[in-house]
Each structure stands twice: as structure tokens, then as C-alpha cells.
Amino acid sequence: MGLHNLMPIIKDCLIIITLVLLVLAVLQIKKLKKTISQQTQRRLIPQLALDLVFVEDSRNNGIFLKNESFFLAKDIMIDDAVFTMDEYGFKKDLTLKFEGVEFLKPQETVRLNFKVFDKGHFLDEVTQKILPHLPFIPMNVTACFLNIENVKLKVLFVKKKENFYTDSTEPLQESSKP
């Protein structure tokens, strides 16, 4: 077999190698596009924070929700937060029911309005006097909201000692996109 007879075989091998490289490049491009899309989505997630402020004789006391990102959060609905009051050895399960927040601009903070309930019964006096007790009560608070692309998100705040910490922020499976 001469060199002349090997040329078609070499061309066929080069074509096959080129096709394999092309397929690998297309697969890598798809993978990179997916990563870019995920990173873009992640950056569009507003970062909400919950803060409990109680200082004796201050009008600035309350539970505050802050948007610490550069993206609008809207239709914020805060789930009922069940907690246990343990005063003088007497334990009582109570529920904080929060009003929703229509929207929260970037870097904006709002005081949350809430009411205290005991087994479905509104406790007006307890609602007015609960704030000094809250710094010492552990609790979890969950909120659902939409980002600027109407992707529904859920954030979990965990209160340890006197502060709330953001445990997780994640998209929910269902999307409210039209």
C-alpha cells in the first residue's frame, strides 16, 4: 500500500476527529450557557433580612424587613410564626401573624406589622407588649415573595439568641410567570 492509498483513510480519520471535537465543543457551550443562566438567575434573587430591634424607651423598636440587594422584592407574604413563651415556668404557644408587604425596593427597610394570636384568638394586649420578650425566644420565620421576573422565592429566617439569620433563600418549584 502506497502513500497515495493512505490519503483517503487519513482524511476520513481527520473528519471523524473534527466531528468528535465539534460535538464536544457544542456540549461544552450548552453546559456554559446553563451555568451562565443559573448565575444570572441567582443574581436576580433579592436578599431579604429580618431584624428585631428592642431598646428600652425607644420608638424605633419593632421587627424590620430589609432588602439588602439591588433587586426589587414584591408580594412578600410572611407565614405565621409559632413560638413558645416560657414565663415563670408556664409555657404557652402563641402565633405571630404578619401583614404582607406589597414591595420592597433595593436597600429599603420596613417595619413589619404583626398581631399575636393564641389558638386563633387575637390577643390585643399581648400584641402591644410582646416586643420586649421576643429577643429571648427562638423562632423560625418563613416568607415567600416574587423577584422582578415573577419567580416565586422562599426565604427562611432562623432566630438564635437575639438575632435573625437568613438560613436559605431558594426558588420554589412553581413559577408565577405568565
Instruction: Specify whether 84 is located in the same domain as 10.
Output: no
The answer to the question of residue 61 being in a domain is yes
Beta-carbon count within 10 A of 159 CB:
20
Instruction: Specify whether 33 is located in the same domain as 121.
Output: no
Alpha helices in the chain (DSSP H): 3-43, 124-129
Three-state DSSP at 72 gives: coil
State the cell numbers at 30.
Answer: 450548552
Instruction: Specify whether 94 is located in the same domain as 117.
Output: yes
In this structure, are residues 141 and 81 in contact, taking their beta carbons and an 8 Å threshold?
yes
Instruction: Specify whether 23 is located in the same domain as 70.
Output: no
Instruction: Specify whether 91 is located in the same domain as 54.
Output: yes
| Count of domains observed in the chain | 2
- The CA distance from 107 to 148, in Å, is 15
172: confidence class by pLDDT, cuts 50, 70, 90: confident
pLDDT tens digits along 18-74:
999 999 999 999 999 888 876 666 667 889 999 998 887 777 889 999 999 888 999
State the cell numbers at 172.
Answer: 420554589
Instruction: Specify whether 66 is located in the same domain as 148.
Output: yes
33 alpha-carbon distance from chain centroid: 24
pLDDT tens digits along 73-85:
999 999 999 999 8
Instruction: Specify whether 95 is located in the same domain as 32.
Output: no
pLDDT tens digits along 158-170:
998 888 999 988 8
- If one compares 133 and 145, the residue with the highest pLDDT of the two is 145
Residue range of the domain that includes 14: 1-43
